[in-house]
Amino acid sequence: MCGKLYVVATPIGNLADFSHRAVEILKQVDLIAAEDTRHVMRLLQHYGISNRLISLHQHNEEKASPELLDKIKNGLTVALVSDAGTPLLSDPGMPLVKLARQQNIEVSPVPGACALIAALSVSGLATTQFRFEGFSPRTSSARKNFFLSKKNETVTWAFYESSHRILASLEDLSEIVPGDRQIVIARELTKLHETIVKDSLAKILQQVRNNIYMRKGEFVVLVEGHVIEKKPHSITEEQTRVLTILLKQCSIKTAVALATEITGARKKLIYQAALELNKILLTLKNTL
């Protein structure tokens, strides 16, 4: 009988953020495939889990995945875990899951912590639609090109960043995205020094520059989507008042030109309003 592959989310910091089901699954499976066996061992020891561990990380997963899949096909059950959070979200595991799907092996999720979703849920930014971009590029030029490609995104977008690149990353972002754009940085989520800050890019950049502790830990950065200003379909009450006064003293052409300059409204809207107002003014004049 063919075995089964479980994709198990692990805590991103607080060990209490581990579901009862996840603990039971890890106790029951034949093998646990871990990104870093030494790192995962702390979690397993905390919950009294002693199942066999094997390594599955970005440097060996292309070779190790087919071998692991053979074990599953021979009846073993395997749990895939990353160092923290949900596997495959900027973590190893894709080759194994892809192969399992291709060969019709059952793959079952055991959901739990995810830094991206945790940050989004408390960000105060729009979450109906969002884009996750994984880790930002390592070099400044590549980051700037990446940010430039995202500059006009109209939905919230997010990326992961490390402690030794967070300042440089925000500085590069500030060269591409307007300083008044709202962003959120969430660091050390669920851990002792958890910090979640929402403000303009310019102000958050200043905080990170001035506070060394704001450059420590693991980061999720969320950026507000570009807001497209909708053009008004009609002029305001004040613009109408100004235009009415001018129409009483000037021709339509002159009144439109002056009203456009005085109020800053779109000339097309002023002209349309002028035609309608002029009819009203002529009607009132003829009734007097």
Beta-strand (E) ranges in the chain? Answer: 4-8, 31-34, 52-55, 77-81, 107-110, 130-135, 156-161, 182-187, 195-200, 219-223
pLDDT in tens, 108-126: 999 999 999 999 999 999 9
In this prediction, residue 109 carries a pLDDT of 97
Does residue 249 sit in helix, strand or coil? helix
Confidence of residue 73 (pLDDT cuts 50, 70, 90): very high
How confident is residue 288, by pLDDT bands cut at 50, 70 and 90?
low
pLDDT at position 54 over 70: yes
Last residue of a domain, one of 180, 199, 223: 223
Domain end, chosen from 92, 113, 134, is at 113
Asked if residue 170 has pLDDT above 90, the reply is yes
Instruction: Evaluate whether 15 touches 43 at the Cβ level (below 8 Å).
Output: yes
Per residue in 147-162, pLDDT tens? 999 999 999 999 999 9
* Residue % of the chain over a pLDDT of 70: 98
CATH of residue 194's domain is 3.30.950.10
Q: What is the mean pLDDT of residues 218-247?
A: 87
Residue 179: per-residue pLDDT:
95
Query: Rounded to 5, what percent of the chain is helix, strand, coil?
Result: 45, 20, 35
Mean pLDDT of 91-109: 95
**Of 113, 147, 162, which residue sits at a domain end?**
113
Of 18-27, 91-100, 230-239, the least confident = 230-239
Q: How far apart are CA 123 and CA 129, in angstroms?
A: 13
Do 252 and 204 share a structural domain? no
The mean pLDDT of 69-76, rounded to a whole number, is 95
Q: Is residue 39 part of a domain?
A: yes
231 within some domain: no
Residue 55 falls inside a structural domain = yes
Q: Mean pLDDT, the chain, as a whole number?
A: 93
Q: What's the per-residue H, E or C state across 181-205?
A: CEEEEEECCCCCCCEEEEEEHHHHH
Q: Summarize the confidence of residues 91-115 as an average pLDDT.
A: 95
Q: Quick one: 47 and 94 in the same domain?
A: yes
**In this predicted model, what pLDDT tens digit does every residue of 179-191 receive, in sequence order?**
999 999 999 999 9
State which of 192-206, 235-249, 272-286 shows the largest mean pLDDT: 192-206
Number of domains the chain contains = 3
In this structure, is residue 229 part of a structural domain?
no
Same domain, yes or no: 108 and 123: no
Let me know whether 251 and 267 are in one domain.
yes
The answer to whether 239 and 259 are in contact (CB under 8 A) is: yes
245-283 confidence digits (pLDDT tens): 998 888 999 999 999 999 888 898 899 999 988 888 777
Whether residue 230 has pLDDT greater than 70: no
Judge if 87 and 45 occupy the same domain.
yes
The predicted structure's pLDDT at residue 221: 98
User: Is the whole model's pTM more than 0.85, yes or no?
Assistant: no
Structure token pair of residue 233: 């379909």
What pLDDT shows up at residue 231?
65
**Domain of 159, in residue numbers:** 116-223
Q: Is the dihedral of CA 63, 69, 74, 80 positive or negative?
A: positive
Average pLDDT value for residue range 199-203: 97
Do both 169 and 94 map to the same domain? no
254 and 270 in a single domain? The answer is: yes
How far is 80 from 159, CA to CA, in rounded Å?
23
